[in-house]
Structure 1
Amino acid sequence: MDLVGACNAFVHVSDRGSFTHGAAAAHIPQPVASRRIAALEKHLGAPLFDRTGRHPTLTQFGHAVLPTARRLIDLAHTCHLYTTDAADE
């Protein structure tokens, strides 16, 4: 599983309240976002979203995981910047 990609999909869907809009913001097809989030939920052992309503809403567990997912994405982005800068030197 691509943990960073799954967290990225999770954060975008959470921010937009929609798998369709979250996937578009993450620049991935909606089915890919759904699969990544499902894999993340399986990996973590609990659902991140309540999918019973019209729009997905974060579960209590999803609320707890969200700040860490954001931090992981930020760290991955920073690491990418460092490696890009190092390659340019």
Structure 2
Amino acid sequence: MERSQDWMDQAEGDLIHAQSDAEHGFYDWSCFSAQQAAEKAVKAVFQRLGGEAWGHSVADLLRELARYYLVPEELMQAALE
């Protein structure tokens, strides 16, 4: 079952949560939600391309994606920061 839109919807919700937490000074939760948003967005890409993604490291997920598709260097660098 192709669920890329489900993953992207969840990613967008997590990003909204991250922004709200940052605005209210909950920086640790903001970081967590932002990481979750990035992870889910990359998993949405995998789903859309017909693949499966396992793991929680955004950098590792992007490295796996880069085995098959071009991943912009600035995106890889952002994932490593």
Q: Of Structure 1 and Structure 2, which has the larger fraction of its residues in strand?
A: 1
Task: Give yes or no for TM over 0.5.
Answer: no
The TM-score normalised by the length of structure 1 is 0.37
